[in-house]
Structure 1
């Protein structure tokens, strides 16, 4: 089995602004940086996913500073960058082909937001047959109102998204476990 590919989803400057909303897991960026450093040290594949909005008013519209990668998570020249304009990193991006051509059969997914781009990308990865891990403390969600009108905390939204994934689509692990597994690989 080959080393999993680290897939970093939407870690853009726009996600770090107060306009993005109330969130959980304030340590997520630090954990993502730790994972990225470990993947780079191992010479393992890394994919950076960036959301490019079709709406000119979005924080993630082309030309806006919000679309840029956060400083600590800038891709290196040899790391693959995927640009998407829907939550799922596999839709209209050729990500699956890029992974298959390189013989990648396992993914470690981190980033934002747990209940949107992370969840939709992990669902597709699982459905496509990739062995998928979502790192719970290297992802985060934002508070939101549910369909019944009940305000849900970012922790509740995050936990429900992970619950949606853990039975059929992905294993849910923490940063320490994933780092230990990478070192043992």
Structure 2
């Protein structure tokens, strides 16, 4: 495994994700953990990439120009940080993310954000398939409660855990915030 500090990829930390209509979620500490990671990456001058979902569905909370589509204040990108917009769950689809990473020689990614079973999982699968050394921070991501295919209600914790299980060892390595911060200390 490479020793390169991964680029921090913050997925969909937009205002709509904090609204009650987003649904019942898990990991109430996720935003604090993302903020800790963001502060550490910024302090070290390491690459930070923000991904923002811009819906193509009129009336969506993520429709361009709606307040829900804006970044949460704590995750407002700095001028030196890259922003990619997407309109599907996967941050690599219809974006220049892969090329941008390759041009800069970035081969390692640390994914945080929302939702674990949607945009995080989709992006991590693509990253792994594209050959990136992909890390997903379990306590800096969160999911929402959802019924499974058979209609059985699943808690946000169950949805989150299944998404992480889908990724770990196949497309990515799952770790916690403390382990992610240790990557910087080891540099």
TM-score norm. by structure 1 comes to: 0.99
Query: 2:5 touches 2:183 (CA, 8 Å); kept in 1?
Result: no
In the alignment, structure 1 residue 141 sits paired with structure 2 residue 134 = no
Q: Match for residue 102 of structure 1? A: 104
Displacement of 1:183: 1.5
Q: Secondary structure at the match of 1:83?
A: strand
TM-score between both structures, scaled by the size of structure 2: 0.98
Q: Aligned equivalents of 1:90 and 1:25: distance in 2? A: 25
The residue correspondences of 1:41-80 to structure 2 (distance < 5 A) are 41-80=43-82
Partners of 2:130 and 2:161 in 1: CA distance: 24
Structure 1: segments with no counterpart, 5+ residues = none
Match of 1:151 among 153, 157, 160: 153
Q: 1:88-135, CA deviations, whole angstroms, 9 ceiling, x for partnerless residues?
A: 000011100000000000000000000000000000000000000000
- Can you give the 5+ residue segments of structure 2 that lack an aligned partner in the other structure? none
SS of 2:109's equivalent? strand
Query: Once the 2 structures are TM-superposed, how far is the Cα of residue 3 of structure 1 from its aligned partner?
Result: 1.7
* Residue of structure 2 equivalent to 1:7: 9
Q: After the TM superposition, which parts of structure 1 deviate over 6 Å for at least 4 consecutive aligned residues?
A: none
How far apart, CA to CA, are the structure 2 residues paired with 1:109 and 1:182?
A: 15
Picking from 77, 85, 88, the partner of 2:87 is 85
What RMSD over aligned residues (CA atoms) do the two structures have, in Å? 0.6
Per the TM alignment, residue 184 of structure 1 is displaced from its structure 2 partner at its CA by 1.0
Matched, 1:17 2:19: yes
Paired residues in the alignment total: 185
Q: State the distance in 2 between where 1:90 and 1:8 align.
A: 13
1:115-130 residue pairs with structure 2 within 5 A? Answer: 115-130=117-132
